[in-house]
Structure 1
């Protein structure tokens, strides 16, 4: 490399870096951005703890009961415990007299059983709990059956064991994958691609607004007197990319750290660390793909009111793979259509992380999609660079895309 080429390259890098630093200062270190980032972080952290709280309560739906037995009904204790387990609850049994049990019915005792164990009197404070009544009824019936078996010369213990294991073996035509479709994997996948969608839309909109602001204020004419259009666009994309990447890392940590601390995903086969790294990788690739389009096409318009004409089609281009990933990929992560679409650079940033979470992507597919995205980026650089170079200095009405590409 000649000295002239080296000097030119150093000058280009310096110009790109200068524009990037300006964008970081202007976009990240503003009071409004820092406040909004802090609020979103707090919302995510609180949301994870709330989710953990309600997830923890799901296992506590079964009621716990304390039942007192007198000496005459004490033999019901094993049947009460077994019936409670069969009905997905726990029963603590105490042996008390009726006089000792009655005052505690208003405190920590749910019921008192006395009299004949085959037809016991069930004493409660007001109304009997229906679940507890079902447990007691099942226990009394098991006791009566065991008594009858014993009188007939059978073994009551063997009978009780056989009775406890008796029942239908339920099978479902629904596969395990279908059953888990809306489980923890679905939650992690949706959070990951939602964060990705938020970051890509936010960063793309910032790039488009920045391009239009500089164009309408004529600042771009001053900037292009010292640097090339490609350097200005590259610096803007790099600076806003750094801002968005920091936001993605902060918000991802806001979700991952509380989930790890609370053990929300314990027991589930989810590679949370690998998923986060994959989201960051696809954010980089997706951001590069979409930011080039946002920056290049925004140069075609000359008024802030026309930004929607540029951003709306590009946002639609994001929402389509987002919803396909949310519904199509989660239901069939290894389907033929999903495998084909996930190789397209506009679809892969959303589909590949979801397929990874659901275990429906092979290593070669992931590498192939990354390779296709890396090959597509230089093509988009040429297209976006040409459009930006022709459109950024165009004044008056909106410039047609065909005219920009023709130059």
Structure 2
């Protein structure tokens, strides 16, 4: 009797098929199994269901029988012909199991169980005749080689389906993100589909975040906003666009807006703009515009978090760059013609004066200089540009021009 240990073959014997034809006695034994194919298939099916309960839970008996049958036929015919054949069976099985989301390891284990049952059945039917046993031993490599090839073909087909699903899911996700942030999907029903595709609630407490795109040389191991928020149990979805990264964040009771702002500020993401809070996913596209404007309201090259509520004037300036550029040159032209150091000194003083609500004393404390120094610099600036800080109109024009200069980087400001 050929013992079970023959299941283990050397690499050479398991991968090389002899050129000689299979012994007729072995062909006859294989044919006996094929003649009783339905009963033999059921034996394999019962063994698989016994050893792998997963098959009992997700696949019906009939489905498994229909899948096992052609694989059994292919393996037996491979032994009979002394060459691997009928590769369509494992390929079809691989694709089907991938579609059913049966883990690949479980599928391959079922294949090994089936092949082992075929081997044990051949051993039993060959009986104790040493000549037949020797012939079976000579044909063993045909079975194990076929099993190896079948397993490889199955795994390739299985992973092909996985790749197709990944591509499909990526396309669906990208389409959903475009609709979410652009508002191209205009009906509530369509946005229901968008929310479902992105696993988002339709109603909640949301903000949109706009971040400067990460530099090309950034470390891939650096935590992304999405990964960081996920670690706090916060759901968010992100899309990389040409000029920024956009994210929709679903705030929670334990992770409110203030905490999110602090977290964004600690990550060194460059300019970060945050929209107003909103409650319906339908409002995302409008919030995305707010977040963009808030980000663009921050000084280029800085790492700061700006809320839209705090940046409406700057956002207005940034939204019309050509008008803002013209305003800056019209109002601040003579100052912008100065050397960088002098220009920065005067504009930095003016900025401190605005930050101090028009108080020279407070501006002096901000700049660490005497109030009279502040007054002297402001007097020099207003003389150059022929403006009066006592005129509300001039004060408004100066502030807008100063914001335009900051946002559009006409020169270097000092503080």
Report the TM-score, using the length of structure 1 for normalisation.
0.22
Task: Choose between structure 1 and 2 for higher RCO, CA contacts under 8 A separated by at least 6 residues.
Answer: 1
Q: Which has the higher helix share?
A: 1
Q: Between Structure 1 and Structure 2, whose CA radius of gyration is higher?
A: 2
